[in-house]
Amino acid sequence: MGILTLYVPHGPVSCGTSVILSSKPLRSVADSPRASDAPGLRQPFGKSTVRVGPRWYAVQCLAHRESAAAAQLGNQNYQVFLPRRRKIRRHARKTETVLVPFFPGYLFVCLDISRDRWRSVNGTYGVAKLVMQGEYPAAVPAGVIEALQLSSDELSVVEWRPEIRPGDAVRVLAGPFSDVIGQLERLDGAGRVRVLLEIMGGQVPVVLPEEIVVSRDSIV
């Protein structure tokens, strides 16, 4: 699957393992007393401690401004990742599928805060603030964003659905039974499931496409 990568000066940036620069001699995280926390994700920022190397950082956006903020940051040559999910929106008797942020109110930007002018992120249209830890931005744990990217398509839509099992409470996303709650009875194979829908005080067995059945409490 593709990964949404905006233009970044000096070529693609890998937001991976970093080292830490402080008032002490430079050393890799593997040499630090807390090497088990590699790459130093849990170590708080001190007044003289700055991370070196590109890492992903969370950006809090203004309400419903995630896409605008992502576009503006991209125009400033930041590498941005705005994961999305598909949502079925209902209006009157019509339904449509739209793309919405996977994490409402947030996007992610790749920064080397020892080199980049990261404070300018806070002044970008649509941005509320970088998520901070002390005096510096708080890095996202290594591997989290990379895993989301690997699960995303070329539009940064995360292809992830929570697993449902027989006996689980489920909800129908679309069709004549849209928003009806029921219980998953069994998986019939070939992408279809049998659900006991709660209709008119009873349970009615219905066979539905698996893609329109989700956990009752799913955010989808």
Residues 203 and 96 occupy one common structural domain: no
Residues 108 and 193 occupy one common structural domain: no
Structural domain tally of the chain?
2
For residues 118 and 124, the answer to whether their CB atoms sit within 8 Å is no
Residues 135 and 193 occupy one common structural domain: no
The domain that holds 119 is classified in CATH as: 3.30.70.940
The torsion region of residue 143 among left (phi > 0), alpha (psi -120 to 50) and beta comes to: left
Residues 125 and 204 occupy one common structural domain: no
Q: Does 12 fall in a domain?
A: no
What is the share, in percent, of the chain residues with pLDDT greater than 90? 52
13: Cβ contacts below 8 Å, ≥ 6 apart: 54, 79, 110, 112
pLDDT tens for each residue of 189-219: 778 999 999 988 889 999 999 888 888 887 6
Residues 35 and 73 occupy one common structural domain: yes
CA distance 35 to 220: 38
Residues 145 and 173 occupy one common structural domain: no
Predicted confidence at residue 173, as pLDDT, reads 84
Residues 146 and 174 occupy one common structural domain: no
Residues 134 and 195 occupy one common structural domain: no
Residues 42 and 116 occupy one common structural domain: yes
Q: Does 163 fall in a domain?
A: no
Q: Does 86 fall in a domain?
A: yes
Residues 75 and 125 occupy one common structural domain: yes
Q: What average pLDDT score do residues 7-13 get? A: 32
Residue that finishes a domain, picked among 122, 150, 178: 150
Residues 207 and 126 occupy one common structural domain: no
Domain that holds residue 124: 19-150
Output the DSSP codes for 130-192: E-EETTEEPBPPTTHHHHHHHTB-TT-BB-------TT-EEEE-SSTTTT-EEEEEEEEETTE
pLDDT tens for each residue of 88-120: 777 777 778 889 999 999 999 999 999 999 999
Is pTM beyond 0.75? Reply is no
Q: Does 79 fall in a domain?
A: yes
Residues 33 and 88 occupy one common structural domain: yes
